[in-house]
């Protein structure tokens, strides 16, 4: 059976998940995570993809990214990222075979409130997993850049994030406020389901707009 085509639109964010094969570890040592981020930084520039949020977990990765030119740039970035990182990891850890399970998963994301829900979903992953008490305590995510203003050249704010305030300090303050409450279970499940299915995360109006632009069922 043919795999369904990915839903891609210019300048429309995507939530992406890359999982380890059989839930196996993708990052064992600090140098593994650093190498993945180096490759991600290199390839996002090559393929003109803006990265808004990310988290590296032990056996999977979440990204929130927007293709800035050709929508297919995301596909090319993820393909090369997976191949080159797997080659590095296999050499370093003296293993063979696939590192990631199948192809990465993705869904188109509407803007407010779903875009910020994805920001929170991604950066709260280590908290939900019981790894850290708060998102700022986790090193391998974009939270310190988005919420505290730490320098991170990989992260490029989305226009909706920039609209949080007139100054970086104001934007960071309002962004931190988003994390004062947990995401509802229903929204967590919706994000998971839509990403797993490769569909659209957003309102009915947004889904209808995507369907018209792509000439696909909503």
- Whichever domain contains 206, its CATH number is 3.30.70.1290
pTM flag (> 0.85): yes
Domain with 98, as residue range(s), is: 14-210
In this prediction, residue 8 carries a pLDDT of 87
Residue 61 lies in a domain: yes
Residue 53 lies in a domain: yes
Low-confidence stretches of the chain (pLDDT beneath 50) = 1-2
Q: How many domains does the chain have?
A: 1
In this prediction, residue 1 carries a pLDDT of 41
Q: What is the DSSP string of the chain?
A: -PPPPPP--TT--EEEEEEBGGG--S--SHHHHHHHHHHHHHHHHHTTEEEEEEEE-SSEEEEEEEESS-TTHHHHHHHHHHHHHHHHHHHHHT--S-SB-SS-EEEEE-STTHHHHHHHHHHTHHHHTTS-SSGGG-SSBSHHHHHH----TTB---HHHHTT-SSHHHHHHHHHHGGGSPPPHHHHHHHHHHHHHT-EES-HHHHHHHHHHHTS--
Residue 123 lies in a domain: yes
């Amino acid at each position: 059976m043919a795999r369904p085509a990915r839903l891609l639109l210019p300048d429309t964010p995507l939530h992406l998940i890359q999982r380890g094969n059989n839930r196996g570890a993708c990052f064992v040592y600090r140098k593994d995570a650093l190498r993945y981020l180096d490759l991600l930084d290199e390839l996002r520039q090559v393929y003109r993809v803006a990265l808004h949020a990310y988290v590296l977990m032990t056996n999977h990765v979440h990204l929130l990214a927007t293709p800035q030119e050709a929508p297919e740039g995301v596909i090319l970035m993820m393909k090369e990222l997976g191949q080159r990182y797997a080659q590095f990891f296999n050499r370093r850890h003296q293993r063979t075979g696939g590192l990631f399970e199948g192809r990465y998963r993705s869904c188109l994301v509407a803007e407010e409130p779903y875009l910020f829900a994805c920001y929170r979903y991604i950066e709260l992953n280590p908290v939900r997993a019981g790894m850290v008490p708060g998102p700022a305590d986790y090193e391998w995510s974009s939270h310190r850049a988005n919420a505290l203003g730490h320098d991170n050249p990989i992260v490029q704010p989305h226009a909706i994030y920039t609209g949080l305030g007139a100054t970086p300090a104001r934007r960071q303050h309002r962004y931190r406020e988003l994390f004062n409450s947990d995401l509802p279970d229903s929204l967590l499940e919706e994000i998971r389901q839509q990403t797993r299915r490769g569909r659209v995360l957003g309102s009915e109006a947004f889904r209808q707009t995507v369907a018209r632009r792509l000439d696909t069922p909503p």
